Amino acid sequence: MKKIGAFLLLLISAFSAKAQLLWEVSGNGLNKPSYLYGTIHMVKNQDFKVSPEINEKLASSEQLIMEMDMDFGMAEMMEMAKRMMLPKGKTMEDYCTPSEYARLKKYCMDTVGMKESKFLGYCKMTPFFFSSILLKEQLGDVEAYEEYFKSKAKKSKKSIVGLETLEEQLNTVDAMSIEDQKNMLFEALGTELVEFDKMYALYETQNIDSLYSYIQEESKSTPDFERDFLVKRNLKWIPLLKGNMMMKSSFIAVGAAHLAGEQGVISLLRKEGFTVLPVKY
């Protein structure tokens, strides 16, 4: 897996019968259709846009469903901060060879422009979260689609449903060894922005099939990563989506990489008997 940081922040989607970002889910006992939308979790400010059609489908739905309800309490925020960190007293230097650590420090300070104090602070984080922070540092000001949808849902007093808890998401990350996380970090080092731009270009053209193929190719060396971050979660979400859509018409916003493939959300919903069709906009 070469581009862990970009991969994680994207989890993305295309413009054909099998490739599009916005989908209508109907049939199988639903009183009203629901809508499935593939998001990119973070995007540069200047690239952030939401079409009128997407806003319309969100407005017409009775509830918003996302991967996680991000309204964390203080206890959850403290737990997240704790789980993002390496064991007490450890830093990235303890898990790197001297040459690896020197390379990481030089890149962060000379290329990215971090101050040494900030770099040393980030070095207390696990490589997984270090990777994500490193990409965000280079992207600059960013917007998150999930935050936008959450804000719109709250203003219209819609209920917000999370498909998984913070604990479940953190457990998925913890299943990866520190060594594997570190290897992914170094394989991506220096190419984060290039790979992010490649995947964003696929996202912008709504090409979920091509993007999914790209992710499969990049994760060949770490098959457990695709299994744990995509397939297992997709399978867990389906009964939750089914139950929620039966009760209320829903606008479902999940990372677009979850949509495509034989074990993607679109295919799995169809296997459950739902009609899932692309919505052109």
pLDDT tens sequence across 113-150 = 999 999 999 999 999 999 999 998 998 889 889 999 99
In the chain the first and final C-alpha atoms are separated, in Å, by 33
Residue-level pLDDT at 220 = 66
Contacts of 171 (CB under 8 A, 6+ apart): none
Residue-level pLDDT at 201 = 84
Query: Structural domain of residue 146, as residue ranges?
Result: 4-73+142-278
Sign of torsion over alpha carbons 63, 64, 69, 74: negative
- 50: in domain: yes
pTM for the model: 0.86
For residue 92, the number of C-alpha atoms closer than 13 Å in the C-beta half-sphere is 27
- 191: in domain: yes
| Counted domains in the chain | 1
Residue-level pLDDT at 38 = 93
Asked if residue 137 lies in contact with residue 196, where contact means CB atoms within 8 angstroms, the answer is no
- 84: in domain: no
- 79: in domain: no
Residue-level pLDDT at 222 = 66
- 92: in domain: no
Residue type, 99: S
Question: What's the CA angle centered on 277, arms 208 and 274, to 5 degrees?
Answer: 110
Instruction: Render the burial of 233-252: b for 16+ CB within 10 Å, e for the rest.
Output: bbeebbeebbebbeebbbbb
- 135: in domain: no
36 has which bridge partners?
23, 252
Per-residue pLDDT of the chain (281 residues; tens, 9 = 90+): 444 444 444 443 333 334 489 999 999 999 999 999 999 888 888 889 899 999 999 999 999 999 998 887 888 889 889 999 999 999 999 999 999 999 999 999 999 999 999 999 999 999 999 999 999 899 888 988 999 999 999 999 999 999 999 899 899 888 889 998 998 899 889 888 888 888 888 888 887 887 777 777 766 666 677 788 889 999 999 999 999 999 999 999 999 889 988 999 999 999 999 999 999 87
For the chain, helix (H) and strand (E) counts, in that order, are: 14, 8
Asked if residue 23 lies in contact with residue 279, where contact means CB atoms within 8 angstroms, the answer is yes
- 44: in domain: yes
- 131: in domain: no
Residue whose C-alpha is closest to residue 56's, from 167, 121, 152 = 152
